[in-house]
Homo-oligomer: A and B are copies of this chain.
C-alpha cells in the first residue's frame, strides 16, 4: 500500500530542533505553515546573563500574548506538553541555547534557565569558551574543569547536553562525563560533506551508542559543495547517518536563520555576514558568503511537507519517517527531562 505522505506529515509530530530564524517571532507562522509541531528558538548563545534574560523575557511575553484560549502558540517543556500541543493544534516552542555563555561563571544559572524552559544547552559555539573548544577553533583540547562541572550540572538539572558547534575532542569528553544521552542538535556526516561543522563517523557512532540523536542541518555549506543543494543531497545525509548508526538516532535541526536566502535581502545578508566574520564567530572557510540557500524545495520552513514527500519517494518507511521527523527527539527528551 502506498504511503500518503501528506497525511503522514500532517499527523506526525514534526520537530525542528534548531530555529534561530525565530529571532523574528513572526516566523512562527512559517513553521506552522510547514506543518511543524515543535520548534526551538535559540534564546541564548554567546552572550551573558543580561542579554539572555532579556531574550527569554521577550519570548515569555510573546507566548503570553499568543497563548490563552484562542492562541496558536504554547511553550512546551515536556514530551507530554508536546503531544498535547499537537492534539490542540497549537505550535509548541521550547527554548534552547547555542552556547554556555548565558551561565557566565555561575553553574547555578543552569537551574534557573531550566525552570524558564531551556531544555537543551549547546556547550560551545564555534569558538573557545570557559567550557571547551568550539568546532571552528585553532585547538581542540577538550573540556575544561569548569566544562566537566557544567556537564555534571546539566545532568543534575536534567538539561540535554548538545555538542553541535563544539570541538570533536570536547564532544567526546562530554560523552564521557555525561551520564545521560548527548545530542548534536544540528550537524551532518563529514563523510557526505566535509566541514568543521559536520561530524566524523566515530563521533556519530559514539553519540548513537549513548542513546543520543544527531539533527540534520540544512545550512548549504554543510550539505553539499553547491551553494544551492538539492533536497536529495540533504536526504543523502539522512540516509548515510541512518545506515551508519540506525534510524533511531537521526532527527532534524535544520537551522533556518534570519540571514538566509528568502528571508533577508542579499545586501543586508552580506552586511550581517561580514559582522559575523569580523567577530570571529564564523570563519570564511567554514561559512562561505551569502546568499545561503537552504535545500531546494525546503528553502524555508513553509514547505517542509516536501521533505516528507521526498523521503517516502526514496523508500523510507512511514515509521522511520516519523522517527526522523520527531519521534527520536522525543525519546531523548523524555529520557533526560523525565516524563
Contacts and interface: CB of A to CB of B under 8 A. Distances in A.
A61 B110 CA distance: 9
B54 A109 contact: yes
A6 interface: no
Interface residues on A, range: 20 to 34
Given A60-B111, A60-B115, A115-B116, 4 more contacts: A57-B111, A58-B108, A61-B107, A64-B157
Residue among A48, A49, A117 with most chain B CB within 10 A: A49
Contact of A112 (B56, B108, B109, B156): B56
Q: Copies of this chain, how many?
A: 2
Contacts of A116: 112, 115-116
A116 B57 CA distance: 11
Nearest to A116: B115
B61 A111 contact: yes
Q: Which 8 A-B pairs have the closest CB atoms?
A: A57-B108, A60-B111, A61-B108, A57-B112, A49-B50, A57-B109, A50-B50, A49-B53
7 contacts: A49-B50, A49-B53, A50-B53, A53-B53, A53-B109, A60-B108, A60-B111
A106 interface: yes
A53 B64 CA distance: 21
Interface string A79-113: 00000000000000000000000001011111110
A25 to B, nearest CB: 12
Contacts of A109: 53-54, 57
Interface in A1-60: 48-50, 53-54, 56-58, 60
A116 B117 CA distance: 10
A260 B50 CA distance: 32
Given A48-B50, A54-B49, A57-B106, A111 B64 contact: yes
Interface in A98-157: 104, 106-112, 115-117, 156-157
A54 B106 contact: yes
Contacts of A104: 50
A194 to B, nearest CB: 40
A157 B49 CA distance: 22
Interface string A286-302: 00000000000000000
A49 B58 CA distance: 14
A294 B60 CA distance: 41
A53 B108 CA distance: 10
A111 B62 CA distance: 10
Nearest to A61: B108
Contacts of A53: 49-50, 53, 109, 112
